[in-house]
Structure 1
Amino acid sequence: MSTEDVILTPGFTLMDSMSAFEIGEPRMDSGMLLEQDNTRPAFEPLTPLLPEELCWIIDRSFACEMGWYAGNMLSQTVYTLLYVHTLQDINPDLLPPEYLYSQDSTRPMQLLTSVLRPAVFAMLKDCDIVWRELSKKRVYDMEDWQSEKCEVTLLEGVPVDFIIDKLDGAYTWLRSTDLPQQWIDALADRLALRKTLLQLFNTGHTGHLDDLKPLVTIARNILRRVRAHPPETPPADSPAVAAFDPHVSRRLHTVIPTRELELSPQDSVWDSLERMLDGWENINYLRENHSLLSWQVNGLLSVWLPDRPLPVSYLRSLTQHIFIDNHIVLGDYDEEWLIERFFWETTGTSYESICEVLINSWTGPGALALQEMESHIMEVVPTYIKSSWFNPPRRRRYLMKAVRDWQLLQDAFGNLIQHIAASGESVSQILHSLPLVVAVWKLTTAREIILTGLQQELYAAYERSLAYWYLAQILERHLETLDQLKPIIPPDSYAQHELEFQTQFLTVLQSMSLASFATISSERLPDPERMRLNFKRRYKWLCSPREDNPEALLFNLPSLQDFYHSLENIEEIKASVEDHLRIAQDALAHLSTAIPRTSTTDKGYEGRIELVKGLTRINDQLLDFVGNNHTESAKLQWNPRSHPWFPTVVLS
């Protein structure tokens, strides 16, 4: 053959040949068959197994399953269990009777046909249910999960009840055998865990969510027993080891060639499963909590707390599905419920009362029409609530669009009340509150955009000072808005308690932001033109689309020039760093007692306590750093895993 000649056999394409070589690109390499790969024991699906080997295989099947939920390919995870591809070979209905019963009593063939086969069935059906949920586009293929099935069945046409019957039959068979009791109990627990997980996934698929809480409790108890009695890892020449082939993608029809993936250690797998159970438990809490504020707080805390990893895509999709699906909110309400809760939970005033005031006091041309603004609320609010369960980059992109939607709604209410004749103080208060309610949500969104930039480490070192300064300005506007709302909100209402907490919380954030800005403001900034271009890129969500003034801001916030003016007084600002941190310290001391609580199991309350503890720790560190001038022995470090927003002090 001459250079550049290629011989292709029928069915073997250029893509197949390319994927046989290591080219250094992780997204393309599927890996060659190396010499050491030939030393692996050959896989024979009907090779008898010891009970302890079967326990190990089932445990590692959970590693495969959790690996796919984490966002890897099926060909890298679930399909590496070779029994997935040989279910027909271990079908007891297709094996001769003498093959089933003339076996070593320590390795009965029924361990494969009656125990392992239903366990693999359950794993594949879990994946099928998850695939169906993820394909509804609440999360995004290739961004949050991988949908490619490689033409391998996930038992799409097999009913869940059929698999549960098979698992029950396996349990009954185990209890009737002469195997060591230790391994009977171990295998029975693993079958019970497989069954319970299948039932949990099926609750989300069928909508029978009343079963969530008891099933999570059962799964936790079983998992505790499974973790307490782990099987030993079999030797390299064991047939159990041969049951997994990380290079199985070489034999599959794949669109995306994949490299070998090392599955997580078993303890990490069980930890991931524990977190998944926590996610189901949180979903059960949310579905029973019919409050916009509870959903908002729960979603924000899942983003804010650094020790809470991002839930797997399936749970994030299911959470959004439970909040609103086909225009039905929480499975019980139409979308008008969102409007009622939007005003009631922010101001303590019902939307019915607001509409009555607007209709009776309308002086504008024609009849009062609220449908457009109501539609706007019903469009913006649910997506904003669901955005806490987007992946972080997508959430930030959405928030940058949502802040404009909030501004349009605020302007619409501002125009509306110009045509309302206020006939008394109570009417005037209600009218005055309408734009303020929207402003609260708008400023919350603006705050989150900057906080997510810090949390995702988007800002260069010289950009942090501007980010903290701008965050402090937004928080100042937010606090002013809350002060204007205070006289309107009924005393002793939940809205009033929440407003008091928000006032203290925002005071803490503002004081710490100003302190952080002053502490790092000595860092050298690039030239003004470079800063202007950076500002236009980072804060484009603030910029007005007006062609006559592209430098104008969408709503009333300081400009980049105001930032430079503030730097003229930087020495005065630096002198007040400790004062700002003392203000934050005092507010944090009262914040824990100001957290509103709806019940003894209020997850928002528990999460906020954790949030306050984290802020207190960071604030104390900064106070010590500033007060003792540890400029040589310590330095500030930005690490979202230590704290998502503010720097931590580390010894140099």
Structure 2
Amino acid sequence: MADFGIGAPDEIARLSLGQDDYPPPPPPAPRLADAQAKGIIAVDITDKFAQAVKTLAPGELVKDGFFTLFESVAALEIMDPKMDSGCVESEADLEELYDVSRPLLPEEVLGIIDQLLCHEMAWHMGYPLSQTLFTSVYVESLLMPTPKNLRQADFIRNEQDRSSQEPMLAILRAYCLGMLKACGYVNERIRSEHFYEEEDFVTNTYNRSLLANIPTESIRETIIGAQKLVSSLSSQLGDDMAKALDRRLQLRYYFLNATECLDHINEPELARKPWKEAVALLPDIKTSHDLGKAVDEAFSAKLQRKLASTMPPRPIVQIGFEDAFGNLSRLFKDGAELVDVLNYTNSQCLQASG
């Protein structure tokens, strides 16, 4: 499914400079002497410009016809820490220092997964990706540079480093792939409908592709592989931890199936099946939440500086697990119930029987 936008927010989001793997640096400015040697007539306009600026009243702007709205807003924000998302006191503060290749404990993986689940539900509730899922350093490393295939969609892009990847990272990667692919389906579905941007739902992906180029079946196979890995490590993980991780991976598998339930529009029970299967997993997910250990440093508001956005930096949206779980439960229960609409084929079906 291709990524495409509707409306100004999506057009603005396309202006991100982060899509190339490593964009070449801009060429240096030519020296005045070299320019004259090549027959270029260079004129120093510094004094004239300074005099012209003095004629402007405070707050008055001069806008060229080719100076777009995006550039106008960005120009007003530049170097204002409250408005410029890329403005930092030092260059060292721009990058997030968290190492996505570091080994993780099983309880840390479980904690990160549940934190991601909270952010995912916050996005479903109407908060933007910039304050929810896109604050995860693991999500950022998966999506940027934009992966062209499943192999590139990894926390570690270096082949040598990837060969020694920790099994816990492989489990977390499979969960993240399933989560992002499902979010991509949801986002595209909502974009095709009529809604009020930033009132009902925020579809802006800030020029990040939610794995649109990676086949769903490949991600399903990755999830199944991760489940087999959990099973092989069950003696080391312990039964409770192994079950907790397996249930969360299974949830991602069912969620992907549920997003494609429209393929079974002529078979209501088949369309309802993944929703009901997901509902059956929920009790185990809720009771095993306490086994996890939150890793707060794996989420950072600094990542907003890398997004194509005219919004000022905003704090990470934090919703509790209980609230997130309640929304998750309603999501799947409503999805299973909504399939009943397929039983109504005409207006007569809507009339109450006598």
TM-score bin (small chain): 0.5 to 0.7
Per-residue deviation, residues 64-99 of structure 1 (Å, max 9, x unmatched): 2112221221111121112122124846784327x6
From 76, 83, 107, the equivalent of 1:52 is 107
Q: 2:247·2:281 contact (CA, 8 Å) conserved in 1?
A: yes
Of the structure 1 ranges 254-263 and 129-138, higher mean CA displacement relative to structure 2 is found in 254-263
- State whether structure 2 residue 197 is matched by structure 1 residue 133: no
CA RMSD of aligned residues (A): 3.6
Return the index of the structure with the highest Cα Rg. Answer: 1
Give the AA of the match of 1:58: I
**Correspondence 1:38-77 to 2 at 5 A:** 42-77=97-132
- State whether structure 2 residue 178 is matched by structure 1 residue 122: yes
For 1:253 and 1:231, locate their aligned partners in 2 and report how far apart those are by CA, in whole Å. 36
Per-residue deviation, residues 436-479 of structure 1 (Å, max 9, x unmatched): xxxxxxxxxxxxxxxxxxxxxxxxxxxxxxxxxxxxxxxxxxxx
Per-residue deviation, residues 295-336 of structure 1 (Å, max 9, x unmatched): 5xxxxxxxxxxxxxxxxxxxxxxxxxxxxxxxxxxxxxxxxx
Q: Summarize the Cα distance change of 1:241–1:13 in structure 2 as closer, same or farther, 3 Å threshold.
A: farther
**Correspondence 1:96-175 to 2 at 5 A:** 96=160, 100-101=163-164, 109-112=166-169, 114-175=170-231
From 55, 58, 74, the equivalent of 1:15 is 74
For 1:245 and 1:129, locate their aligned partners in 2 and report how far apart those are by CA, in whole Å. 25
Per-residue deviation, residues 397-419 of structure 1 (Å, max 9, x unmatched): xxxxxxxxxxxxxxxxxxxxxxx
- State whether structure 2 residue 141 is matched by structure 1 residue 86: yes
Q: Summarize the Cα distance change of 1:167–1:213 in structure 2 as closer, same or farther, 3 Å threshold.
A: same
Partner SS state of residue 86, structure 1: helix
2:14 counterpart residue number: none
**Correspondence 1:207-286 to 2 at 5 A:** 207=265, 209-231=268-290, 234=293, 240-257=295-312, 259-286=314-341
1:184 counterpart residue number: 242
Q: Summarize the Cα distance change of 1:16–1:174 in structure 2 as closer, same or farther, 3 Å threshold.
A: farther
Q: Summarize the Cα distance change of 1:45–1:184 in structure 2 as closer, same or farther, 3 Å threshold.
A: same
Q: Summarize the Cα distance change of 1:149–1:62 in structure 2 as closer, same or farther, 3 Å threshold.
A: same
For 1:205 and 1:143, locate their aligned partners in 2 and report how far apart those are by CA, in whole Å. 30
Q: CA deviation at 1:100?
A: 4.4
Partner SS state of residue 43, structure 1: coil
Per-residue deviation, residues 163-208 of structure 1 (Å, max 9, x unmatched): 1010001111111124222322111111001111111112136757
Give the AA of the match of 1:287: L
For 1:16 and 1:96, locate their aligned partners in 2 and report how far apart those are by CA, in whole Å. 42
Give the AA of the match of 2:337: N
Matched length:
275
For 1:258 and 1:71, locate their aligned partners in 2 and report how far apart those are by CA, in whole Å. 17
For 1:34 and 1:232, locate their aligned partners in 2 and report how far apart those are by CA, in whole Å. 39
Give the AA of the match of 1:223: L
Over the matched positions of the two proteins, sequence identity in percent amounts to 22
Per-residue deviation, residues 493-529 of structure 1 (Å, max 9, x unmatched): x3xx4xxxxxxxxxxxxxxxxxxxxxxxxxxxxxxxx
Q: CA deviation at 1:32?
A: 7.0
Q: 1:30·1:258 contact (CA, 8 Å) conserved in 2?
A: yes
Q: 1:29·1:259 contact (CA, 8 Å) conserved in 2?
A: no
Q: CA deviation at 1:41?
A: 8.1
Q: Summarize the Cα distance change of 1:173–1:60 in structure 2 as closer, same or farther, 3 Å threshold.
A: same
Q: 1:128·1:156 contact (CA, 8 Å) conserved in 2?
A: yes
Q: CA deviation at 1:264?
A: 0.9
Q: CA deviation at 1:217?
A: 2.0
Partner SS state of residue 149, structure 1: coil
- State whether structure 2 residue 255 is matched by structure 1 residue 197: yes
Q: 1:247·1:260 contact (CA, 8 Å) conserved in 2?
A: no
Give the AA of the match of 2:112: I
Give the AA of the match of 1:145: F
Q: Summarize the Cα distance change of 1:14–1:289 in structure 2 as closer, same or farther, 3 Å threshold.
A: closer
Q: CA deviation at 1:127?
A: 1.3
From 271, 283, 287, the equivalent of 2:342 is 287
Give the AA of the match of 1:118: A
Give the AA of the match of 2:261: T
Q: Summarize the Cα distance change of 1:204–1:19 in structure 2 as closer, same or farther, 3 Å threshold.
A: farther
For 2:78 and 2:250, locate their aligned partners in 1 and report how far apart those are by CA, in whole Å. 40
For 1:278 and 1:223, locate their aligned partners in 2 and report how far apart those are by CA, in whole Å. 11
**Correspondence 1:533-612 to 2 at 5 A:** none
Per-residue deviation, residues 590-637 of structure 1 (Å, max 9, x unmatched): xxxxxxxxxxxxxxxxxxxxxxxxxxxxxxxxxxxxxxxxxxxxxxxx
Unaligned runs of at least 5 residues, structure 2 = 1-52, 59-70, 143-151
Q: 2:175·2:249 contact (CA, 8 Å) conserved in 1?
A: yes
Q: Summarize the Cα distance change of 1:89–1:43 in structure 2 as closer, same or farther, 3 Å threshold.
A: farther
Q: Summarize the Cα distance change of 1:94–1:144 in structure 2 as closer, same or farther, 3 Å threshold.
A: same
For 2:276 and 2:307, locate their aligned partners in 1 and report how far apart those are by CA, in whole Å. 38
Q: 2:128·2:202 contact (CA, 8 Å) conserved in 1?
A: yes
Q: 2:264·2:270 contact (CA, 8 Å) conserved in 1?
A: no
Give the AA of the match of 2:77: M
Q: CA deviation at 1:29?
A: 8.2
Q: 1:46·1:89 contact (CA, 8 Å) conserved in 2?
A: no
For 1:122 and 1:56, locate their aligned partners in 2 and report how far apart those are by CA, in whole Å. 17
Q: 1:196·1:215 contact (CA, 8 Å) conserved in 2?
A: yes
Q: CA deviation at 1:33?
A: 5.8
Flag the structure with higher helix content.
Answer: 1
Q: Summarize the Cα distance change of 1:33–1:279 in structure 2 as closer, same or farther, 3 Å threshold.
A: farther
